[in-house]
Structure formats: structure tokens, C-alpha cells
Structure 1
């Protein structure tokens, strides 16, 4: 259950923050939807990086448990 929550937060938090920041920046500078798209793109790149990193970490933990 911990792993599920960890991955869920890793995926959801950047997306929500990107949406809020992108909408705010677009409203402030009148660039709708350009900055929202930029923020989502950055959030996607960050999410992919973090998910791969966590998958490797949990994969190593799983291998350690199997070897015991």
C-alpha cells in the first residue's frame, strides 16, 4: 500500500501544481494556454524522471527481499 501511495503522489502532485501554476501564469500574462502547456510538459518530464527513479529503488528493495 505504501508503494501505491508513493507512486500516486509522485504522479498527482506535479500535475495538480502544474495546472494551478499554469492557469495562474496564463491569467497574469494573458498567454492562455501557452504557459499551462509548458507547465504540464515540465511536470510530465519531472514525473517520468521520479517514477523511473522510484521504480528502480523499489525494484532493488524487492530483489533484496527475495534473496533473504
Structure 2
């Protein structure tokens, strides 16, 4: 559940904030819809960077757990690495 909330926040919050900032810029400079589109585009890039960061962090945790399991299998049963793949 925590991962879902973090990833959803990386999508929702930047877009919501960008929408308000973009509308404000469009009103201030009379540039509709370019202010909104530009700021939402930047927010999209920011969201993607955040999503990749969070996903790589979770993948690192997952990979670390799997590596420790492989070490346990090799040391407990004294298997060769090629025996694990069978």
C-alpha cells in the first residue's frame, strides 16, 4: 500500500500544482493555453524522474532480498551455482 501511495503522489501532486501555476501564468500573461501546457509538461518530466527513482529504490530492495536468498541456498546445502539454475 505504501508503494502505491508514493507512486500515486509522484503522479498526482506535480500535475495538480502545475495546473494551478499554469492557469495563473495564463491569466497573468494572457498566454492561454501555452502556460498551462508548458508547466504541465515540466511536471510530467518531474513526475517521471520521481517514478523512476522510487521504482529503482524498490527494485534495489527486492534485488537485495533475492541475493540473500541465493546465498542462503548455496551455504545451507553446499550447492554449486549451476545447481541452483536446475
Q: TM-score if structure 2 supplies the norm length?
A: 0.74
1:42 paired residue number: 42
Shift of 1:55: 0.5
1:60 paired residue number: 60
* Unpaired segments ≥5 residues, structure 2: 70-86
Count the aligned residue pairs. Answer: 68
Distance 1:34 1:28 in 2: 12
1:10 paired residue number: 10
RMSD of the alignment, in Å? Answer: 1.0
Distance 2:16 2:57 in 1: 25
Distance 2:41 2:29 in 1: 19
Larger Rg, first or second structure (1 or 2):
2
* Unpaired segments ≥5 residues, structure 1: none
1:22 paired residue number: 22
Q: TM-score if structure 1 supplies the norm length?
A: 0.92
Runs of 4+ in 1 over 3 A off after TM superposition: none
